[in-house]
Every structure is written in structure tokens, then in C-alpha cells.
Chain A
Amino acid sequence: MANADSADVVIVGTGVVGCTIALEALAAGCSVLMLEAGPRVERWQIVENFRNLPPSLKAHWDAAYPPKPWAPHLETYSEASAGDYLQLEGPDARAYQQGYVRYAGGATWHWAGICWRLTPDDMRLKSLYGVGRDWAFDYNTLEPYYTRAEYAMGVCGPSDPALQWPPIRSKPYPMGPTPFGPGEQRFTDAAARIGLRNLPSAQARNSGISYHDRPPCCGNNNCFPVCPIGAKYDAATTLPKIESMGGVIMPNAVVYRVETGSKNAVQAVHFYDQDKVSHRVTGKLFVIACNGIETPKILLLSKDQQNPNGVANSSDQVGRNMMDQPKIIAKITMAEPMWTGVGPVQSSSIMDTSQGAFRSEHSGALIRMENAARSGQAGVAALKKGLVGKALDTEIRRLAACTGQVTIEHEPLPSAINRLTLSDKKDWLGLNKPNIYYDVGDYVRRSADQYSVPIVKRLIAELGATESEIGTEFAHSDHIMGGCIMGNDPSASVVDADCRAHDHANLFLPGGAAMTTGGSGNSTLTMVALAMKASDAIISQLKAG
């Protein structure tokens, strides 16, 4: 049984990765203590926060999660607030304004639930295309962990292999796909007319049935910032189960130092509570799973005599290779209604555009139509025109139905220059804020210029767009990857194939930070698959003594 000071497995972070490992370790009979920097709240409180936001803030996914002083995260409501915590620089600094929340449950509170797998080719970029890196193992090694991740979270998806991505699976999805609303059906039809397949997304959302004590999705169209009914998986839904199995969860515990000892093994982690009082927690095995920014930050904060560059950093790769899928947004207006806002906020994507021999020259991309309801922004836009009466209502209905947004998310390459370091600026606790240099790179820029944006121009023409505005600046997708990159070579990577730190036998760094490449799809399912793989290694290591 864990207590507040010690456990077999000490997990820093209560997001999807930490909670996955906690459940696996508890099921294997290990004691688990989880430390969470932020507060723990109930779902209804987030829902009330959202409903009480003024219209212009409802599109800011972080606004329903005001940070505590001791656990700051990016707040996007103004330029000034956005620059307060994350210190960003480089040619594409704004494309790394990553939206994560430091709350118990982590960033899955406000994710869309999309669960794409990497493809076999996504994991062999160096061998196949001469760019990036190869993973330490192949798709067939990862596949069983993908399946376990899908069953643990409850991922719905099509049973027809022709609609699966990739159609290389050992088991069917636990449940079938959610239906398309009119917008996604129209987008699918338009894509098909120009030879593109828009596939139903694999998504961690209960489709038609209850699963793991969560209700079926009822199309509340609020996956971010919060599913009001818990039909979409988020890690917060697992916290009571972790406690019921004997796990101890401590919110408002900001880990700031990893302590090493004999043979460079991790002895303890130190955290500040909300009164700035420091505490020390010991364990047999340690998991740092805060997210791709906070995890490398803690490692860099933990310099000691044995580890002068920071814990786990003999390779100097901690904080390098920061990745995300650089996003381009196309806003469109059509003559005929599209009607988004029916069903989940995202339910489909074009994935074929992520694969091909062109990847030796430029990145592939995922293309998606956003399915969030547009009535709110339509209302604000119509009011700005000074309309009243029937003309106002008619314009709101037209703008809501006949406008849309198409999103391109590009595959990134790991690059050492995209680097997280410690800023001289300090947070409320006196800890260094993270500083990140970010350049999406020519590989992505060439894709946007020569490949992805031209495809989207054909697509939106086929949709019947009468007006379009295609963004020229890359944006963030909130898929933080790479900062503790995985590899077989300890001199060029931070963790091994089980997400174990090369430098510390009892330290695991699973999650997005460990990902070697990112692919074009959302990263969460791969993060959870890596967590499953790490769990097996953790349990095996503990049982071996």
C-alpha cells in the first residue's frame, strides 16, 4: 500500500500516460503514488466554468481551466497572458503555444479523443526516405500495445478494413464508429469526388454503448474543452478507479527535482506543495509523465554532480527534438449549407495524404474538417454587421450552416535545434519557466507550399467554397512530442525501447516526449501504447527485484 511518502511506483503526472501506468501497476499488485502539480476538480465544475465564459472565450480551450499560481500553464485569452508562462522563440514560435492544462487528469480533459495509430512507414522514416529517425522497434512490436490501449480507453472505429487506418490490426475496435453529421458527410462526399478518402476517426468515445462505466456519446459537441458527460475518455475518469485499487493521488504537488544516488539510480523526487513547503518522496521505480514540456523541464531542473546536464541527459538530447504537427487552417464560406456541429467536434480525417514516396522531399499531412458548432461565432459575426430582426436571424443561420474550417496537420521531423531549455524567468514557486526554440523546418514548409495546401484548395473548391482564407502562419496542434526521444543508442537518445532512461535503470519517461517521430495523426494513442509497453517493463523489473 502506498502512502504519501513512498510507494513501489511513484508517478509524476496524472494525465493519460500516468494513469495508464498506474492502473497496470496496481493490477499487478504494485503500490502506486501519483503526484500532480495542479488541482483536482470535478467534471461539473469545468462544465460550469465553460458555460459561464463569455462568447469570445469559449473558443479558448484553456479558459475553463484557470491555473493555480503554483502550476501555471498557457492562457490564451490575450497576447500578454499567452506569453506569461511558455517562453517561445524562433521563426515559428507561435506554432508552439501548446495547450495543456496542469490539472489532475491532464490534457485529455480537453482533447478531441482522436486515436490514430502510426503506420509501419511512419516508424521507418530514415530507412525508407532518408529523413528523421527510425524507431527502436517496428509496427508489429507496437501493435499489441496499440490494441491494449484501445481497449483500455474505449476506442470506437470501423470494422471494415477498408475504412481503418492503418488496416493492420490484431483485434477489432471495442465498438463501432459514431455516425457522421451532415457536415462530415458532405466533406466525405466532396473528398471522394476528387479521389480522396475521408475516414471515420478512431476515437476514444463511447459509440452507442456504455463502456468502462462511462455513458455513450450523445453528441454534446463539446469534446473540448470538456465532455460534460464523460462519454469521451479522459484520464480524470480513471482517478476514482486508481484510488479504489489502492493508489494514492496527491494534487497540488509540484515536482521540481529528481534525486539520484548510488549507481545513478533515482532515490526520490522532491515537490513543493501549494504553501511552497518542500517534501521528499521515495520509491523503487519512478515515472515522469507530466507531458512533453514539463517532463524535460523537471529533468533539466535536476542537475547534480553525477548528472551535470540534468537527469537522464548524458546524451544532451533532453529537451531537443521538440515536435508537434504544424497546422494550417483554411476558413471557408459556401453557397450551400454544410451544417457542422452535429455529433462530436471531430469524427473523421483524410489520412492517405500522410503517406507516399514524396516523404523523402517533404512531409505528409492529415486533412480534416472541424465539426464544432458554429452558431456562436456566427451570432457574433452577424451582430457585428448591425443586423436586426429577421435579417439578423437569417444571417446567423446562414453563417452557422454555410461556413466551415478545414485543418491541415503536417508530419514533423525530429530536429535538435527545436529545443526546450530553462528560461531565466521564474514562476510563482521560483522554478525556471520552460523556454522553447521552434522552427517547423523546410520539410514542413515545402509540404505546405507544394503539397498540402494545393490539395486543400482543390478540396474546398469541390465543397463549393465561395470565399476562403487559408492561413499563412503555422499553428500548434497541441501534440507535444520528442523532448525525451527514444532510441537504441544512448549517446543519441534519452530512453530505450521501454521508455526507460538510458542513464537511470529505475526511471521511466513514457509518453509523447519519448516519441521518435510523430506521423501526421494525433499522438495520444501512441503515447498510451508506449505507456502500456513501459508498464510491462516496470512490472517485470519490480517483480525481478
Chain B
Amino acid sequence: MKQPVRDDCPSEYSLARRDFLAGSVVLMGALASSARVVAAPLDASAALSAPKFMEVSSLLIDHKLDGDVGARMAAAISSIHPGIEQDIDQILEIAHQKNAKIVEDFFPDLPEGRLKDTALAIISAWYTGVIVDAPGSTVFAFELALMYQPTRDVMTIPSYAISGPNGWNASAPPLSDMPKF
């Protein structure tokens, strides 16, 4: 009979894999800051460059975006959404034509269908922290996922504390006080 094993963490979440992911993020972050940016662990030919992904993301989302999270998502999104790089080129072209600074400046000009869907998919990835919301899918961000930020002045991001022992009370700011993030 085997000896009882204390470390019975599911292998997909094992420390070894997280170490690998952390290392990957650091590596991709280094690549993203260099002139030779191509982050594509699965399929180099289909890779989307992290700077291009960050450029379109910054136009679609008027918030501070984490470069490491973006690099990881850029590396993965091409294999999930084939042809996304061409979509992004077209979205960028439309945004530049409108001299857009924020999404409201050009989103109505995106044609219904594939381009608009791609734009919404990129926004969704940043807000939810996943490219695909299904069992077994990779989580790129949790506490940095943007959907938790509009309420972060009041509402706890589950498992993270924003106060101390019995340090909360019944008061809350008005809805109109949107946090900056």
C-alpha cells in the first residue's frame, strides 16, 4: 500500500505548472519589451504579437491594462480565434481613421458580425479573465479581471479581503462613484 501523500493537488494546478506559467509570463514580458516580439508557445505561424494585442486592447478598453496578462492572452487567443490578427488589423484601421482615443469613438463604426464580435471577445477576455468560459479553460486573470473593478470600492473580490478583522460596516458609497482603474 502506498504511503498517504499530503500533496494531492490536481496536477493541472500543481505548483510545477504554476511555476512554469509564471516563468512564461516573465519570458513573454521580456519579449514584449524587446523589438523581437512573438509569443506563441503553441503555433508560431498563427501567433498574434503582444504589442498589437495591447494596442487594440487599449483602444477597446479605457483602463490600465496589465502587460503580462495581455502577453499571455495574445499568445493563446490566435489558436482559439483563428484569423483574429486580420480582424484586429481592420479594427485598428477603423479606429485610426476615426482618430479614436476610446472605444466610444469608433465602436459604432465597426460593422456588425465578425469584426464587432472580435472586438467584444477581446473586451470580454479582459473583463472575465478568460478567452473561453468553460470547464478546463485557462484563466489568465482573476483579481486583475476588469469585471471586479467597477465595484472594488465596496465588494470583495472573492477570496481577497479588502478590510481587516470585523473591519466592514453597513455604509456604502453611491452608485455614481465609479472607482478609477
- Seen from chain A, the residues whose Cβ lies within 8 Å of a Cβ on chain B are 39-42, 45, 47-58, 63, 66, 68, 77-78, 178-182, 184-186, 206-209, 215-222, 226, 228-229, 249-252, 273-275, 277, 279, 337, 339-343, 372-376, 378-380, 382-383, 386, 388-390, 392-394, 396-398, 400-402
Pairwise interchain contact B167-A393, C-beta atoms closer than 8 A: no
B4, B18, B62, B133: which contacts A54 (Cβ < 8 A)?
A: B133
Q: Which residues of B contact A57 (CB under 8 A)?
A: 135
12 additional A-B pairs beyond A337-B175, A400-B150, beta carbons within 8 Å, are: A39-B5, A40-B5, A54-B135, A209-B165, A216-B165, A217-B165, A252-B2, A388-B60, A388-B123, A389-B103, A390-B62, A402-B175
Task: Identify the closest chain A residue to B139 (Cβ).
Answer: A52
Q: Which residues of B contact A55 (CB under 8 A)?
A: 128-130, 133, 145, 147
Bound form: Cα–Cα A267–B142 in Å = 51
Min CB distance, A396 to chain B, in Å? 5
Min CB distance, A379 to chain B, in Å? 3
Question: CB of B97 within 8 A of chain A?
Answer: no
- Seen from chain B, the residues whose Cβ lies within 8 Å of a Cβ on chain A are 1-2, 4-10, 13, 18, 60, 62, 102-104, 107, 119-120, 123-124, 127-130, 132-135, 137, 139, 142-143, 145-151, 154-172, 174-175, 178
Contact residues of A: prevailing secondary structure: loop
Pairwise interchain contact A219-B161, C-beta atoms closer than 8 A: yes
Min CB distance, A16 to chain B, in Å? 20
Q: Which residues of B contact A209 (CB under 8 A)?
A: 165
Pairwise interchain contact A181-B2, C-beta atoms closer than 8 A: no
Pairwise interchain contact A383-B170, C-beta atoms closer than 8 A: no
Task: Identify the closest chain B residue to A248 (Cβ).
Answer: B4
Q: Which residues of B contact A376 (CB under 8 A)?
A: 147-148, 158
A-B contact pairs, 11 of them (CB 8 A): A41-B8, A55-B147, A219-B167, A222-B158, A228-B159, A341-B154, A373-B156, A375-B147, A386-B120, A389-B104, A389-B107
B5, B135, B142, B155: which contacts A373 (Cβ < 8 A)?
A: B155
Pairwise interchain contact B166-A401, C-beta atoms closer than 8 A: no
Min CB distance, B175 to chain A, in Å? 6
Q: Which residues of B contact A58 (CB under 8 A)?
A: 158
Q: Which residues of B contact A54 (CB under 8 A)?
A: 128-130, 132-135, 137, 139
Q: Which residues of B contact A373 (CB under 8 A)?
A: 151, 155-158
Pairwise interchain contact B178-A393, C-beta atoms closer than 8 A: yes
Pairwise interchain contact B158-A252, C-beta atoms closer than 8 A: no
Min CB distance, A37 to chain B, in Å? 12
Task: Identify the closest chain B residue to A393 (Cβ).
Answer: B150
Task: Identify the closest chain B residue to A68 (Cβ).
Answer: B8
Pairwise interchain contact B175-A398, C-beta atoms closer than 8 A: yes
B7, B133, B145, B166: which contacts A179 (Cβ < 8 A)?
A: B166
Task: Identify the closest chain B residue to A398 (Cβ).
Answer: B175
B6, B139, B159, B175: which contacts A40 (Cβ < 8 A)?
A: B6
Q: Which residues of A contact B120 (CB under 8 A)?
A: 383, 386, 388
Pairwise interchain contact A56-B134, C-beta atoms closer than 8 A: yes
B4, B129, B172: which contacts A337 (Cβ < 8 A)?
A: B172
Bound form: Cα–Cα A53–B163 in Å = 24
6 tightest A-B contacts by CB?
A: A379-B147, A39-B8, A185-B170, A216-B165, A341-B155, A221-B156
Pairwise interchain contact A178-B172, C-beta atoms closer than 8 A: no
Bound form: Cα–Cα A392–B181 in Å = 14
B143, B146, B155, B157: which contacts A339 (Cβ < 8 A)?
A: B155
Pairwise interchain contact A372-B170, C-beta atoms closer than 8 A: no
Q: Which residues of B contact A397 (CB under 8 A)?
A: 150-151, 175, 178
Q: Which residues of B contact A378 (CB under 8 A)?
A: 147, 151
Task: Identify the closest chain A residue to B9 (Cβ).
Answer: A45
Q: Which residues of B contact A219 (CB under 8 A)?
A: 156, 161-163, 167-168
Task: Identify the closest chain A residue to B181 (Cβ).
Answer: A393
Bound form: Cα–Cα A186–B163 in Å = 20
A215, A252, A273, A379: which contacts B128 (Cβ < 8 A)?
A: A379
Task: Identify the closest chain B residue to A386 (Cβ).
Answer: B120
Pairwise interchain contact A179-B170, C-beta atoms closer than 8 A: yes
Bound form: Cα–Cα A307–B4 in Å = 33
Pairwise interchain contact A42-B6, C-beta atoms closer than 8 A: yes
Min CB distance, B58 to chain A, in Å? 13
Min CB distance, A56 to chain B, in Å? 5
Q: Which residues of A contact B7 (CB under 8 A)?
A: 41-42, 45
Q: A378-B147, A397-B151 are known contacts. Are A56 and B9 too (CB-CB below 8 A)?
A: no
Pairwise interchain contact A383-B123, C-beta atoms closer than 8 A: yes
Q: Which residues of B contact A229 (CB under 8 A)?
A: 161
Task: Identify the closest chain B residue to A186 (Cβ).
Answer: B170
Q: Which residues of A contact B124 (CB under 8 A)?
A: 383
Q: Which residues of A contact B8 (CB under 8 A)?
A: 39-41, 45, 68, 251
Q: Which residues of B contact A389 (CB under 8 A)?
A: 62, 102-104, 107
Q: A279-B1, A373-B155, A394-B178 are known contacts. Are A78 and B135 too (CB-CB below 8 A)?
A: yes
- Residue in A58, A383, A386 with the greatest tally of chain B CB atoms within 10 Å: A383
Pairwise interchain contact A208-B151, C-beta atoms closer than 8 A: no
Pairwise interchain contact B170-A56, C-beta atoms closer than 8 A: no
Q: Which residues of B contact A206 (CB under 8 A)?
A: 165
Min CB distance, B10 to chain A, in Å? 5
Pairwise interchain contact A273-B130, C-beta atoms closer than 8 A: no
Task: Identify the closest chain A residue to B120 (Cβ).
Answer: A386
Bound form: Cα–Cα A387–B132 in Å = 18
Bound form: Cα–Cα A216–B142 in Å = 24
Pairwise interchain contact B104-A390, C-beta atoms closer than 8 A: yes
Pairwise interchain contact A388-B107, C-beta atoms closer than 8 A: yes
Min CB distance, B115 to chain A, in Å? 13
Q: Which residues of B contact A49 (CB under 8 A)?
A: 9-10, 13
Pairwise interchain contact A401-B154, C-beta atoms closer than 8 A: yes
Pairwise interchain contact A383-B147, C-beta atoms closer than 8 A: yes
Bound form: Cα–Cα A111–B167 in Å = 22
Q: Which residues of A contact B166 (CB under 8 A)?
A: 178-179, 207-208, 216-217
Task: Identify the closest chain A residue to B18 (Cβ).
Answer: A48
Q: A42-B7, A57-B135, A209-B165 are known contacts. Are A375 and B157 too (CB-CB below 8 A)?
A: yes
Task: Identify the closest chain A residue to B10 (Cβ).
Answer: A66
Q: Which residues of B contact A66 (CB under 8 A)?
A: 10
Q: Which residues of B contact A78 (CB under 8 A)?
A: 135
Q: Which residues of A contact B170 (CB under 8 A)?
A: 179-182, 184-186
Q: Which residues of A contact B160 (CB under 8 A)?
A: 220
Q: Which residues of A contact B178 (CB under 8 A)?
A: 393-394, 397
Bound form: Cα–Cα A77–B174 in Å = 36
Bound form: Cα–Cα A42–B158 in Å = 19
